[in-house]
Amino acid sequence: MAATSLLSLPSLRLTHRLLVPASSSAPASRSQFQTLAAKKAAVATGTGEGGGGGRGAGGGLLSVLDRAMADEEEYRRARAQVQRKGVEVEGYAIEGVSVGGHETCVTVPSLNVAFDIGRGPLFAVSQDYLFITHAHLDHIGGLPMYIATRGLYNLKPPVVFVPPCIKDDVEDLLQIHRRMSQVDLKVELVALDLGETFEIRNDLVARPFETHHAIPSQGYVIYSVRRKLKKQYAHLKGNQIMKMKQSGAEITDTILYPEVAFTGDTKSDFILDPRNADALRAKVLITEATFLDDQIDVDHAREHGHMHLSEIMEHSQWFRNKAIVLTHFSNRYSLEDIRQAVSKLQSKLSSKLVALTEGFKSDYR
């Protein structure tokens, strides 16, 4: 498949919805819940506070019961957050794991695409198209395994997109693995440069955009392709339009609608680049927020080619996405740290904001 040139995307009107932030208060621990549950049982049998077979319980007993039930529900909600796999936003199920410095691989199964390949997780193997943002091992280390596993399952060779500056090195890497393992790693490797468009299928294309990491990098936007009748033919009747179409006349414009954008690792500079407008108005933006608190400042984040959550807050007016999925948090944070920090952004951004937290530790494991 070859890169093709399509018409530019016109301005879009996007509707924004505000996601009500989750409570930042920490739910009860398992031991606290068990203590309350024991009190509840004691009250029920008349052996707890206000005993005497239940006489004189009044509001005190009801209060303990209510508290136990409320804490049980809160505990279940916290457990559900810990056990949740992936997120669903704007009709897209987004699965994956992205832990800063350890591994990143994010998939959008309905589009048949994966972004970066970290340690080569099994959930990515079924995606036919893989987009690599840069050459750090936590983003590309699993590439040979991804290709080999697809061969093991008799899946067709994948199409892997890389920044042009690393294509030759990736070819060399795969050749080394072919020699060592004596396995034919079948893949279509595509160097997709800025300004180029690749047709994934007749209604879906991809374009890279510039990002700013510590080494050469690029993000990707996946567009849906739609055809719209040209304005000069809007007055024609159906049979007239059909005749023109049959005669070979070009009666429609090709319009690209940005559906999903993925930045990979980047500094906040990409936000202010007018050439990246499509990434900031894609229906769903998947981007990084490596650092969350004052222990690591913005200068440190920028020095290492990453973003601080405060920068997303600072530039919130530029995001026109309907949903933003934050990824690549530092492993120093717990799941509860992430949830609490992200909740502070809700008042700044009018879009849905969710965090991809698979792989992070929690008090509720």
Q: What is the pLDDT along the chain (365 residues), one digit of tens a residue?
A: 444 444 433 333 333 332 333 333 344 444 444 444 454 444 444 444 444 444 444 556 667 667 766 666 665 555 444 444 689 999 999 999 999 999 999 999 999 999 999 999 999 999 999 999 999 999 999 999 999 999 999 999 999 999 999 999 999 999 999 999 999 999 999 999 999 999 999 999 999 999 999 999 999 999 999 877 666 666 666 776 676 676 766 766 788 999 999 999 999 999 999 999 999 999 999 999 999 998 899 999 999 999 999 999 899 889 999 999 999 999 999 999 998 898 888 777 777 889 999 989 887 66
Distance CA 287, CA 266 (A): 8
Distance CA 102, CA 36 (A): 39
pLDDT at 214: 95
Helix H or strand E segment including 293: none
pLDDT at 240: 65
60 within domain boundaries:
no
Burial of residue 334 (CB within 10 Å: 0-12, 13-18, 19+) is middle
Distance CA 242, CA 251 (A): 10
Question: 315 lies in which domain range?
Answer: 84-355
146 within domain boundaries:
yes
Distance CA 264, CA 362 (A): 25
pLDDT at 241: 64
360 within domain boundaries:
no
pLDDT at 345: 81
Number of domains the chain is built from? 1
Reference 101, options 138, 142, 133; nearest CA is 138
104 within domain boundaries:
yes
Q: Are 194 and 167 in contact (CB under 8 A)?
A: no
pLDDT at 45: 44
pLDDT at 350: 73
Cα-based distances in Å from 317 to 259, 281, 301, 314 = 20, 12, 21, 8
256 within domain boundaries:
yes
* The dihedral formed by the CA atoms of 228, 233, 238 and 244, expressed in degrees to the nearest 10: -100
Q: Are 327 and 98 in contact (CB under 8 A)?
A: yes
61 within domain boundaries:
no
pLDDT at 59: 58
Helix (H, G, I), strand (E, B) or coil at 55: coil
pLDDT at 349: 79
Q: Are 14 and 258 in contact (CB under 8 A)?
A: no
pLDDT at 77: 57
363 within domain boundaries:
no
35 within domain boundaries:
no
Q: What is the CATH number of the domain that holds 191?
A: 3.60.15.10
